[in-house]
Structure 1
Amino acid sequence: MKKIFASVLVGAMCFSFAGSTFANGMDMKHSVDEVVGTPYKWGGTTVKGFDCSGFILYVFNQYNVDLPRTSKAQAQKGTKIAQKDLLPGDLVFFNTNGRDISHAGIYIGNGQFAHSSSSKGVRISKLTENYYEKRYVTARRVVSKEAYSEMSNKEH
């Protein structure tokens, strides 16, 4: 009887954890896919329009991950990650203005990242594209590897 109770309790705890981690059962890839094509809007944080850091806030807010508003401030959070160690969900940062970090995106795997481009809105780009490769600065992991893994791999 104790084993049955323990199994039920563990199962309930896992179900409860999953519900709090994955907003409405959505995984990160699905969250990104839903807003690809949203237009760029400076200062935008909603599906009516995003700037790069507003897009990141929108996606990560679905998982109750609290991040600062600007890409420069976001680049100070979490743990610094080498580009070769990127996992889906890591944040990637770029110097597009020649002065400092001025653009950010969410790494989604296979050398690609999602971001809100000022010219094309929310889209998927490759880190190896000449423009981004030359401007890459750093990457940050803002939640645990385990949480990223679950956020990125949850099936619908």
Structure 2
Amino acid sequence: MRKTLTAAATSLAILLTMGTASAYADSDTTLNKAVNAVYGTPYKLGGTTAKGFDCSGFTSYVFKKMGVKLARVSAAQYKQGTPVAKDQLQEGDLVFFNTTGKGVSHVGIYIGDGKFAHASSSKGIRTDKLSNSYYKKRYVGAKRILSKYGYATHAAQS
């Protein structure tokens, strides 16, 4: 009886692991691949390559991987796309922050589950929650850059 229960538990564990792995593979979008490929890259003022990024250099780099050209600086990127409400965010939307007290000065890419990827000046490419008190206080807005086709092709989770 004990061997049967152990075998059943082992089989269940294998099935659950397989399910988790396939769910992860399903979310392997162009957006996720581009962000994951440079995750941890150090911050570099003016940086636009995998050797170092600033915030808008990072967003430009990722969007180029999806075939979209963005303006070079965050304030100019904020002028692109269509405004989107915070409760309507979808993967690939740009999120903007006022970190200097002088208007839009920081940008990241919404990646779902209340999180965004960005170039932190102290920690490089990383993810943070929009609900983080620092970012929550400084949130300016979001813009949808990807078309419906672009979203379905590059950012939609399967």
TM-score, with normalisation over the residues of structure 2? 0.79
Paired AA for residue 116 in structure 2: F
Q: Which letter does structure 1 place at the counterpart of 2:105?
A: S
Unmatched 5+ residue regions in structure 1? 1-24
Q: Note the C-alpha offset of 1:150.
A: 2.5
**Which one has the largest radius of gyration?**
2
Which sections of structure 2, spanning at least 5 residues, go unmatched?
1-27
**Partner AA of 1:77 in structure 2:** Q
CA distance in 1, matches of 2:97, 2:118: 11
**2:91·2:156 contact (CA, 8 Å) conserved in 1?**
no
Aligned to 1:16: none
| Counterpart selection for 2:118 from 115, 119, 139 | 115
Q: Does 1:64 align with 2:70?
A: no
Q: Which whole-Å CA distance do the structure 2 matches of 1:134 and 1:146 have between them?
A: 33
Cα offset, 1:26, TM superposition: 6.0
Q: Deviations over 1:53-86 (max 9, x none)?
A: 0000100111220110000000000100000000
TM-score (norm 1): 0.80
1:94 aligns with 2:97: yes
Residue 78 (structure 2) aligns with: 75
Name the residue aligned to 1:104: 107
In the TM superposition, 1:2-21 aligns within 5 A as none
Taking structure 1 as reference, are residues 111 and 88 closer, same or farther at Cα in structure 2, changes over 3 Å only? same
Identity of aligned residues (%): 54
Query: Shift of residue 149 of structure 1?
Result: 3.0
In the aligned structure 1, how far is the partner of 2:130 from the partner of 2:110? 9
Q: What's the CA shift for 1:154?
A: 6.7
Q: Is the partner of 1:106 in helix, strand or coil?
A: strand
